[in-house]
Amino acid sequence: MGKKQQEDYVKSLKESFDRWEYLLYYGGSDPFWPDGVNMNLVRNHICYYKGKLEEQYGEDKCLYPEVYFREVPPEMDDDYLADVYAIRAGAREKLAAYLENEDLQYLMSVRDVLTDQERKGVCIDAVIGYAVGLAHAIRDEDIITMRRHAKSNGHYQESFRECAIKVRELKDREWKEGEQLTLFSVMEGQSR
């Protein structure tokens, strides 16, 4: 093992310890996996880098870098999630913002006026489904989905805007007045 590769292992080991601690306290943003799964993956990286340093230095502990002597973090429950309370609060705030979003309100008001082909063409059901999905996640305590929304950077709202533009361009006609859907009536329709 060359000096450069050895330095890379030491650097990677330090970064892995830092990453594991960050996940422990603040959690990650993986859209599909709980923090525990990612923490165990990082833990495996720590073990790997320590093993590579052991191959290099052998029995002479005086040669080992200081970071090597840090204790390997414990294996975590795969379902562990950090900062669950903040995720729940953030998800509720996002849902409130979605429901106040004029583009989403518009999409929900015109959804049933569109033909099936028009709905598929502009993906309106999928876009409305972001808000419906978050409402379901809050109801069902799906923390991973809540985190995906709570830590989002506005791309769901951007989807509402882009879809509303497409729908407005789709037809140059007046929509029926007074016929508005609520998010919860859409949820009820999807659960049937």
Q: How far apart are CA 145 and CA 142, in angstroms?
A: 6
CA torsion angle 121 123 128 130 (round to 10): 180
**pTM flag (> 0.75):** no
| Tokens, residue 20 | 């594991």
Q: What is the DSSP letter of 115?
A: -
Query: Are residues 67 and 85 in contact, defined by beta-carbon separation less than 8 angstroms?
Result: no
pLDDT in tens, 111-165: 998 999 999 999 999 999 999 999 999 999 999 999 999 988 899 999 999 999 9
Q: How far apart are CA 159 and CA 169, in angstroms?
A: 15
